[in-house]
Chains A and B, each alone.
Chain A
């Protein structure tokens, strides 16, 4: 039998057909998400899709994840799925694409709710019908931050007023070496640093950008700390940077900079984990979790015994408490309008909230996995648990929290009371959780921002003042120049003039307008 040979023409025709087929295939719409189960069962099982950030951007063990997914289906009757968002700025990009895409289902995501108003569902009715546990799980202030001025609720709380996010963390072993107690005054803080530096010339003060520095220190020199404030001169809201005392604070920070106290990359987004490993940071003025989480891990991995950090509860400066509490937040979990299963989402979240602060089992299932396989209670009453795969530092060995959509306030804060069995069999309290559990609602050590309870709609402000993001950035940029000495403080008055040119008046009008909705004169 002879094989028929293709002539040139047939070959070209074949190639043309294949090319056309490939082009059609490439342009075809993506396949619909796979149905769960088959037939009638799939019709009855609601399926929900979450956009989540997890500690494992590449995902966890596929087997464990699937097992947890099935376990959650058994417990809640809801089939859960997750898109894992990448870390950093790419997270926003990916989320925006998911929201704008008409081809991929998405039922819950997090962000500041005013930015997404118009594409998200109001949740009042759903919460009333399916979310009683969620409603009971948050304070009045938390819910106030979720509502617009008409009283419509646009999400359930992700973050809120927090007392635990900023503390000065000192190298406790260096303090002890210098024979000093934990300082509680500005002078004491400076003296402590000088003493540390005289013993360890490599010692530096590190922060994570100007805002963190302001949260930790601005209150020492100003009346309102890191907060917008009402200027009695015209009764208008002004930026923190224009309050009396800010210039003095800048001068003090510049003094620190010029003296070589501050880590030179404090305003340059360096790799903080690597920086912590260098053991040169004598005083940390950044976000708390870099010490309670990252440092703690570094310390355990390296087997450090003496080397450690301890926090100063209160630092009082010339104008009073140096710290400002993290204001109430309108960061929320929201449901897109396009969601086909909003009731199932709220039902699932409500299930996680079930049990309240006393019983966080459901939260731990959504976070750690299946009891008896990934973790187990040692003593549920005493909130003592033992982790199996859930404790693994290796993402590929565990379920990586893909179906957890109640981070921040509520269940996650309640769960910080749980203590874990350590390697030697004893029971210990994770340092990070201990910190949150102890300080999250302790506001006395810091100043309360003037507008801590105002859920500003920055999108609405930006619509009417498109230069608002530029204005904020300009303030930040120039302030850093003053701190680092690139711009001399003698130019302060011309900086204020420049702010006027950049739209200070407009900024002030728009923020005051929203502030007054909640705080009428």
Chain B
């Protein structure tokens, strides 16, 4: 204990005593592992999953610094012959589309954040206020449903609704005396369509976490507020919202961390040359260059660049949350 205290105070600790503490720590850890060995055995498999499928593939990021050719086999990945340093990053920064894909990624993500983030909270608050159980469950089910459509199906529905060749919306436009319009090829409308579709598909599902958080609120708080004369809106405002603020903050941090994921599948399935200027994002650019154009190293470099930006964003969001007195992720 004395040695530990000495370390904490920054006073001199002899190497021998430090080694002793370390050995004792190892012994204690080993004792605990031995005691809980079966629990550790159970945890090993999921851990193995993360190591094999989530962490080991990260080694592959090395190809961002090489002129890698997958057809030459995995050995080529560890050869210095193809090392090119930051060449692919420079090529991306020099690309005529660099600022365009950056702008589109940020703008589309921001739109989705601004309009898509509050809606599940509002929806959860509204569902929570419903008193008829059957109606509440029906609303919940209907709002979750679009989440379970695969993106291909959802994009197909949107296309079918918006096509000028007899699409539902255009039929309505024509019935009201208007001209059919190709909504999906209009650069001024495309981002709005993306955001609307995203909300339609995800708002219900994203409200689950808030509904779960609301379920943990002590009913006595509502009773106390009611006795103090708070009406339903005030109870929602002063009891429900503060009680779920931790969930809101955590979700917000995750959303900001994933902000550069502007919706790859959705955009890939809906965009076309007419709207590339307002819809081409980092992920579609990587897909095009990497998987279709076989510029794997270039694609990896752009992907890595995006991941670094996402990490910075998440770190910043976490810091801001802590400064505001909320619990952060770490």
* Residues of A participating in the B interface, judged by any CB pair closer than 8 Å: 9, 12-13, 15-16, 19-20, 22-23, 27, 89, 92-93, 96, 99-100, 102, 115-116, 118-119, 209-210, 264-265, 267-271, 274-275, 278, 280, 462, 466-467, 469-471, 473-474, 476-477, 480-481, 484, 486, 498, 501-503
Number of B interface residues at 8 Å Cβ cutoff, please give it.
Answer: 44
A13, A271, A467, A474: the one contacting B91 at CB < 8 Å is A467
3 cross-chain pairs, A with B, having the tightest CB-CB distances, nearest first? A264-B182, A268-B272, A100-B70
Is B274 a contact of A480 with CB atoms below 8 Å? yes
Query: Given contacts A268-B272, A470-B96, are A278 and B298 in contact (CB under 8 A)?
Result: no
Q: Which residue of B lies closest to A265 (CB)?
A: B182
Q: How far is the CA of A121 from the CA of B74 in the complex (A)?
A: 20
Instruction: Check A480 against B96 for contact (C-beta < 8 Å).
Output: no
Chain B residues whose CB sits within 8 angstroms of the CB of A466 once the complex forms: 88, 91, 295, 298
Q: Which of B71, B95, B289, B293 neighbours the largest number of chain A CB atoms within 10 Å of its CB? A: B71
Give complex CA distance A16, B43 in Å. 10
Q: Please name the residue on chain B nearest to A120 by beta carbon.
A: B71
- Chain A residues with CB under 8 Å of B96's CB are 467, 470-471, 474, 498, 501-503
Take A96-B291, A278-B166 as given contacts and tell me if A16 and B272 are in contact as well, using a CB distance cutoff of 8 Å.
no
Q: Mark B132-171, 1 if CB is under 8 A from A, else 0.
A: 0000000000000000000000000001000111100000
B47-78 interface code vs A (CB 8 A; 1 in, 0 out): 01000100000000000000001111110000
Which of A102, A116, A265, A476 counts the most B-chain CB atoms under 10 A from its CB? A265
* Bound Cα distance from A13 to B48, whole angstroms: 18
Instruction: Tell me what chain B mostly uses at the interface: helix, strand, loop, or mixed.
Output: helix
CB within 8 Å of A: which residues of B?
38, 41-42, 44-45, 48, 52, 69-74, 88, 91, 94-97, 159, 163-166, 180-182, 184-185, 187, 272-277, 288-289, 291-295, 298
Please, which residue of chain B has its CB at the minimum distance from the CB of A270? Answer: B163
Find chain B residues with CB under 8 A from A275 CB.
Answer: 165
* A265-B185, A484-B274 known; A467+B95 contact, CB < 8 A: yes
A13: chain B residues within 8 A (beta carbon): 38
17 A-B Cβ contacts within 8 A?
Answer: A15-B41, A210-B273, A264-B180, A264-B181, A265-B163, A265-B184, A265-B272, A268-B184, A268-B275, A473-B97, A474-B97, A477-B276, A481-B277, A486-B187, A486-B274, A501-B96, A502-B96
A-chain residues with CB within 8 Å of residue B159 when the two chains form the complex: 270-271
Contacts of B164 in A (CB 8 A): 264-265
Q: What B residues does A474 contact at CB under 8 A?
A: 96-97
Given A92-B292, A210-B273, decide whether A27 and B52 contact each other with a Cβ distance below 8 A.
Answer: yes
Question: Distance (Å) between the CB of A470 and the closest chain B CB?
Answer: 5
For B182, the closest partner residue in chain A by CB is A264
Q: Tell me which residues across on chain B come within 8 A of A481, comparing CB atoms.
A: 274, 277
Q: Is the CB of A12 within 8 A of B91?
A: no
* A89, A268, A280, A502: the one within 8 Å of B185 (CB): A268
